[in-house]
Amino acid sequence: MLDTDQTRQRTAYTGDFILEVDKVRKEFPGVVALDDVQLRLRPGTVHALMGENGAGKSTLMKIIAGVYTPDRGEVRFAGKPLNIKTPIDALNSGIAMIHQELNLMNTMTVAENIWIRREPRNGIGLVDHGQMAQMTQALFDDLNIGLDPADLVGDLTVAQKQMVEIAKAVSYDSDVLIMDEPTSAITESEVEHLFAIIRDLRSKGVGIVYITHKMNELFEIADELTVFRDGQYIDTVKATDVTRDDIIQMMVGREITDMFPKIDCDIGDVILEVRNLTLPGTFHDVSFCLRRGEILGLAGLVGSGRSNVAEALFGVIPAASGQIVIDGAVVDMTSPAVAMQHGLAFLTEDRKETGCFLQLDCLENIQMALLTREKVNGMGFVQQGEVTKLAEDFAAKLRVKTPNLSETVENLSGGNQQKLLIARWLLTNPRILILDEPTRGIDVGAKSEIHRLITQLAGQGVAVLMISSELPEVLGMSDRVMVMHEGHVSGILDRSEADPVRVMELAAK
Amino acid sequence: MAMQDTTIDPPVMQAQRRLPPEVNILFVLVGIALVFEILGWIFQGQSFLGNIGRLKIMILQVSVIGIIAVGVTQVIISGGIDLSSGSIVGAVAMVSMSFAQSADYARAVYPALTDLPVIVPILAGLCVGAIAGFINGWLIAYTKIPPFIATLGMMVAARGFAKWYTKGQPVSFPTESYVAMGKGMMPVIIFLVVAVVFHITMKYTRYGKFTYAIGANPQAARVSGINVERHLIKLYVVAATLAALAGMVVAARGQTAQAGMGLMYELDAIAMAVIGGTSLAGGRGSIIGTSIGMVIFGVILSGFTFLRLDAYYQEMIKGVIIVAAVVVDTYRQKKRVKKS
């Protein structure tokens, strides 16, 4: 039987910290996501966890919530080692979490969503909807939320859904509440409301881990803050002891090494011009131009609309208005096939979701884009001899490590999968290459090989638009850096004027 | 492309080549056949496999559904499903036969249109199939409803159409040339031609490559420049056209068409594909596998008859084998994922 008692007892403990993360390490194939990190949360405080995209914050939160198990190290809760295998264990232990993405069931009511798994029962074991509505109303009154418990979640706005998530997390009466960017989808006034709730919980002794990118929120709500960078623990400080610039320095402060072998090359004429590209609700008035041989870096937080602009350029999800001009002519970019006709290629952000054909072999993965345009005879037969030779050449140049090209792609490492996808696009001989997170989740060696390749392509006159969440990569590789914030271009910096602090300022406001 | 650095690790071409998945299924087939062979000697005192006549009948029994299974296989590889094939068999049998009637028969459906050249009923049948397939494909590609629902609708509607066409009356007395389509080993020959053509198509043409790509990852297929919608329509048109061909073969063989023809053929065809290693998740499968799956069906069917066992047992065992095939496949895939 699952716990049906609605109010769990707060965990009793002695000691300064309710939650302690000690030397936790987590590796994924090819990457170290967390390298001996620590985090100490005091009860009755708000502890901000900061770091760039990919710093390891979300991985740690998933470890605490029981989604991942650490390779090494320990998480202690109320002084005792925490043994969590599933998210339900975490909730039962007294740790609730608000994930970055919404996890609600749209076809159920607000009340059903909040009390799922803990529904009040009547005498014969059926769900007592009356009592459930009362409990929800009481919770909402307490939190000052003006929603109807009987509404369907699917009918709510994103911001209202976020409030339901918050109410649900609070309803667990946890000792620790983890919030992963809870304000990314809500408006100013709702942020104030959320902060009021957080202050109230804090005064009741709840320890809150608050993950955010937004500096102003940080100073308004956080007591302490911990910074991660590249999976490593940097420091924990009191919020009152530091300034905004100190924090940015802690987050990005690292030397840009020769990992990014930028070669200056001749930048030619404008090949792509984007004018006022808009997709309502996603990005607005995006304008920029791209020249032959140029690498234009595109920085911004996750959700700033970077990838959406790339998708619009490639016709995956076309923009609603604005113009895409290639070689001086306006192109109606309605599908990837049209984009490919104009010499575009697009390495998507998510290898697994929109890149690889996992069950197919390497050769099929490399040749698929080419086959939509050429190397097929009038009968529809693939000129396999020629294509195989091309594919083998590119696989060798990119140093794809696989016994042979008939290996199934799901058996390859992330870095090799990425190289295959790059090979797929190079086979089409593109003039404009859009790369969305070209080195995400791959090891250092493969990373620098890909960086070198990108530079070489630019040297041959290919225009490159490179989206990256890694500041050093953007700054190291790009001739110019365009920064997006909440769907708008917040600035375009020349290589000489782009530095981590300026980019972060434009990205985070 | 002039790369600075072209030194590469020598390609490690390993001699150990993994066996194609079809080999597993072939072993299953051989195993089942051997079981019947042994049981045959024990209970019947004779060989099961040693009787060429029996083997011929065995293949003949399943090759009509085999023709359908080829079309269904390519649909399943693309990540879809087609439930309408059995009803299309019925509808096409009726329409095609109505244009194939001999002038000797007094009560033809179209008294003015008798003794037509055989190409007319064949084209009429293929057209009916293609139209049904186009509707399936269009619904799936553009209204984005699940293939299960679109083809379920077609399954019901096409059966209704078959009954409405002659208000439930059977259509008979075809011309000699029409009957020839189903005579002797013709169904097996037609199946073999279809299987070879589609084996080559799936392996060596763009059509085949795109089908696997869409099944493996439709989003990646789209980003790679494949017109996914148009390809889906082609797939369902092909599947329904092959079902139409099967429908005409059945009608020609029986020399009559009835609205109820092809009942449950779609499920047998799907089962053949699945037993043959086609993954319902898409991206995996082959015509060779399906052909072996078809023969497994035939062996079970004729094996039970041979042992003089009740037909009821046949169906129960068939059910078990279908489920077992998918369980094994799912288990194999899980293992693969764990490995990677």
A329 and A199, same structural domain? no
**Residues A81, A226 within the same domain:** yes
- What residues contact residue A145 under an 8 Å CB cut-off, 6+ apart? A139, A163, A167, A193
pLDDT at B299 over 70: yes
More confident residue, B269 or A66: B269
Please report the pLDDT score of residue B334 as a whole number. 67
> pLDDT at position A30, please?
60
Of B221, B223, B227, which has the smallest distance from its Cβ to A348's Cβ? B223
Q: How far apart are CA A484 and CA A308, in angstroms?
A: 11
One domain for residues A418 and A436:
no
- Kindly state whether A371 is in contact with chain B, defined as any CB-CB distance less than 8 angstroms: yes
Judged by phi (left if over 0) then psi (alpha if -120 to 50, else beta), residue A81 lies in beta
* Rounded CA separation A200/A142 (Å): 10
CATH number for position A327: 3.40.50.300
> How close A102 comes to chain B (CA, Å)?
23
Q: Can you give the pLDDT at residue B109? A: 83
Determine the residue type at A198: I
> With an 8 Å Cβ cutoff, is B7 touching chain A?
no
Instruction: Name the 3-class secondary structure at A474.
Output: helix
Cβ-in-10-Å burial (0-12, 13-18, 19+) of B147 comes to buried
Instruction: Quote the pLDDT of residue B11.
Output: 38
Higher pLDDT, B198 or A384: B198
Examine residue A261 and state whether it is found in any structural domain, yes or no. Answer: no
Give the residue from A224, A254, A284 where a domain finishes.
A254
Touching A: B residues 203-222, CB under 8 Å: 204-207, 209-210, 212-213, 216-217, 219-222
Interface of A with B in 187-246 (CB under 8 A): none
Nearest CA in chain A to B202: A381
Judgement on whether residues A58 and A190 belong to the same structural domain of the protein:
yes
The nearest CA of chain A is from the CA of B78 a distance in Å of 12
A260 within a domain of the structure (yes/no): no
How far apart are the two ends of chain A, measured CA to CA in Å?
48
Q: Does one domain contain both A185 and A331?
A: no
pLDDT at B335: 65
Residues of A (425-454) whose Cβ lies below 8 Å from B: 426, 452-453
Give residue B239's Cα distance to chain centre. 8
User: What is the reported pLDDT for B336?
Assistant: 58
* Predicted pLDDT of residue A155: 87
What pLDDT, on a 0 to 100 scale, did the predictor assign at position B146?
95
Contact B220 A404 (CB under 8 A): no
The highest-confidence range among A15-24, A280-289, B160-169, B231-240, by mean pLDDT, is B231-240
With beta carbons under 8 A apart, name residues in chain B contacting A360: 212-213, 216, 283
Across the A:B interface, residue pairs with CB atoms under 8 Å apart total 117
The domain of A399 spans: 357-428
Shortest Cα distance, chain B CAs vs residue A336, angstroms: 5
Identify whether residues A168 and A179 lie together within a single domain: no
Provide the CA A68 distance to its chain's centre, in angstroms.
17
Domain presence at residue A262: no
**Which residue, A419, A415, A399, A416, is CA-closest to B4?**
A399
| ipTM of predicted complex | 0.80
Q: Are A366 and A375 in contact (CB under 8 A)?
A: no
- Are A232 and A361 in a shared domain? no
B51-326 adopts what CATH topology?
ABC transporter involved in vitamin B12 uptake, BtuC (1.10.3470)
Residue A8 domain-assigned (yes or no)? no
Closest-CA distance of chain A to residue B37, Å = 37
**Does residue A277 share a domain with residue A400?**
no
| CA–CA min distance A432, chain B (Å) | 15
Judged against a pLDDT cut of 50, whether residue B9 lies above it is answered with no
Q: What's the pLDDT at A3?
A: 41
Chain B residue with minimal CA distance to A411? Answer: B340
Q: Are residues A310 and A446 in the same domain?
A: yes
Instruction: Establish if A403 touches chain B: CB-CB under 8 angstroms.
Output: yes
- Asked whether residue A111 falls in the same domain as residue A184, the answer is no
Does the beta-carbon distance from B225 to A367 stay under 8 Å? no
Mean pLDDT of all residues in B120-147: 96
pLDDT score for B216: 94
Nearest to A182 by CA among A203, A171, A172, A168: A168
Mutate to test the interface with A, among B8, B223, B279, B332 (most CBs of A within 10 A): B223
pLDDT digits 0-9 by tens, B28-57: 899 989 999 999 899 888 888 888 888 999
C-alpha span between B20 and B25 (Å, rounded):
10
Of the three residues A428, A455, A473, the one that is the final residue of a domain is A428
Tell whether A250 and A386 lie within a shared domain. Answer: no
| pLDDT tens per residue across span B327-337 | 877 777 666 55
Nearest-CA residue of chain A relative to B201?
A381
Q: What is residue A403's predicted lDDT score, i.e. its pLDDT?
A: 77
Average pLDDT along chain A, 509 residues, taken 10 residues at a time: 48 78 82 86 92 78 83 88 82 85 87 90 88 93 90 86 90 89 76 90 92 80 90 89 82 58 76 92 91 91 85 93 91 92 91 88 91 82 89 86 82 82 92 90 74 89 89 86 90 86 82
Q: Is residue B182 a contact partner of residue B254, using CB atoms and an 8 Å limit?
A: yes
The domain tally of chain A equals 4
Highest mean pLDDT pick, A168-177, B153-162, B163-172: B153-162
**Domain termination residue (choose one: A395, A410, A428):** A428
Specify the amino acid at residue B24: N
Q: Is the confidence at residue B122, as pLDDT, over 70?
A: yes
Question: Is the CB of B19 inside 8 Å of chain A's CB atoms?
Answer: no
Quick one: pLDDT at residue A4?
41
A397 contacts B3? CB cut-off 8 A: yes
Cα separation, B49 vs B34, whole angstroms: 9
Nearest to B209 among A316, A355, A382 (CB): A382
Q: Do B220 and A399 touch (CB under 8 A)?
A: no
Partner-chain residue, chosen from B1, B2, B220, that has the shortest CB–CB distance to A356: B220
A86, A183: one domain: yes
Residue A9 lies in a domain: no
Residue A348 inside a domain? The answer is no
Residue A80: helix, strand or coil by DSSP?
strand
**Residue A285, in any domain of the structure:** yes
Question: In sequence order, which ranges of A105-240 are alpha helices (DSSP H)?
Answer: 110-114, 129-143, 158-171, 188-203, 215-221
Residue A375 has a pLDDT of 81
B260 pLDDT band (50/70/90 cuts)?
A: very high
CA atoms of B279 and B332, how far apart (whole Å): 11
List chain B domain ranges: 51-326
